[in-house]
Amino acid sequence: MKQFNIRNIPVAANVCQQVLREVERNHQWSLAHVTMNPMASSLLHSHRQMTEVYVITKGYGELSLVAPQQGSLCHPVVAGSVFEIPAGIPHMLENRSAGHLEHLVFAVPPFDPNDVYLLGEKYLFSQAYALHLPKAQDCFDGAKMLAYNFSRLGLSIAFGWVMNNPTRLKRPHYHKNTTEWVYVVEGEGFVEIDRECQTIKFGDWIQINPDTEHALLNGWPEDLVVMCVCSPAFQMEDVYYRD
Q: Residues 81-92: pLDDT tens digits?
A: 999 999 999 999
Integer distance in angstroms from the first to the last C-alpha of the chain? Answer: 22
What is the reported pLDDT for 209?
98
What does CATH list as the number for 137-238? 2.60.120.10
At 133, the amino acid letter reads L
* pLDDT tier at 125, thresholds 50, 70, 90: low
User: Residue 213 and residue 207: Cα distance in Å, rounded?
Assistant: 12
Q: What's the chain's average pLDDT? A: 94
**Dihedral sign from CA coordinates of 102, 108, 111, 113:** negative
User: Residue 176 and residue 135: Cα distance in Å, rounded?
Assistant: 28
User: Residue 236 and residue 19: Cα distance in Å, rounded?
Assistant: 36
Q: What is the pLDDT of residues 145-201, one digit of tens each?
A: 999 999 999 999 999 999 999 999 999 999 999 999 999 999 999 999 999 999 999
**Dihedral sign from CA coordinates of 14, 72, 109, 53:** positive
Does residue 93 contact residue 125 with C-beta atoms inside 8 Å? no
At residue 220, φ and ψ (nearest 5 deg) are: -120, 160
What is the reported pLDDT for 123?
58
Burial of 19 (0-12, 13-18, 19+ CB in 10 A): middle
Residue-range domain boundaries for the chain: 7-128, 137-238
CATH topology of domain 7-128: Jelly Rolls (2.60.120)
Question: Is the model's pLDDT at 16 over the cut of 80?
Answer: yes
Question: Is the model's pLDDT at 223 over the cut of 80?
Answer: yes
What is the reported pLDDT for 124?
54
Mean of pLDDT values over 206-227:
97
Does residue 42 contact residue 111 with C-beta atoms inside 8 Å? no
Mean of pLDDT values over 34-51:
96
* pLDDT tier at 58, thresholds 50, 70, 90: very high
Find the angle CA(32)-CA(35)-CA(36) to the nearest 5 degrees. 130
pTM: 0.95
* Domain 7-128 matches domain 137-238 at the CATH topology level: yes
